[in-house]
């Protein structure tokens, strides 16, 4: 949009499509990505590539568990840190 000096008048340009499918068909990819229309397609493609290479999503521990583990590891020195970090679930 462009505003006129002094205000009161604005002009602009827009591309309007009937459906999202038409927009995906005719719009260039960079413009689709600006509007987040192809964002899910990019994420899906990346997941497929990662799974094909055996690098799929690994289960992450919760934030609180990570913080507790970090603080437990601060209390020990040297090679014992590995034991404390590995045996975090045993109580």
* Structure-block tokens of residue 62: 């919760």
pLDDT tens readout for residues 28-43? 888 887 776 666 666 7
Residue 88 pLDDT:
54
**Cβ atoms 44, 38 nearer than 8 A:** no
Q: How confident is residue 58, by pLDDT bands cut at 50, 70 and 90?
A: low
- Least confident segment among 12-21, 44-53, 64-73, 75-84: 44-53
User: What is the structure's pLDDT at 23?
Assistant: 80
- Report the run of H or E that residue 3 belongs to, with start and end: strand 2-3
Say if residues 84 and 73 touch (Cβ distance below 8 Å): yes
Is residue 71 within 8 Å of residue 81, measured between CB atoms?
no
For residue 57, is pLDDT > 70?
Answer: no
The whole-model pTM stands at: 0.33
């Amino acid at each position: 949009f462009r505003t006129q000096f002094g205000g009161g008048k604005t002009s602009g340009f827009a591309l309007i499509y009937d459906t999202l499918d038409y927009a995906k068909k005719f719009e260039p990819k960079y413009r689709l990505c600006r509007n987040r229309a192809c964002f899910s397609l990019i994420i899906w493609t990346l997941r497929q590539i990662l799974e094909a290479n055996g690098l799929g999503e690994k289960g992450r521990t919760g934030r609180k568990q990570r913080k507790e583990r970090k603080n437990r590891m601060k209390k020990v020195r040297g090679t014992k840190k590995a034991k404390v970090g590995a045996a975090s679930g045993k109580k």
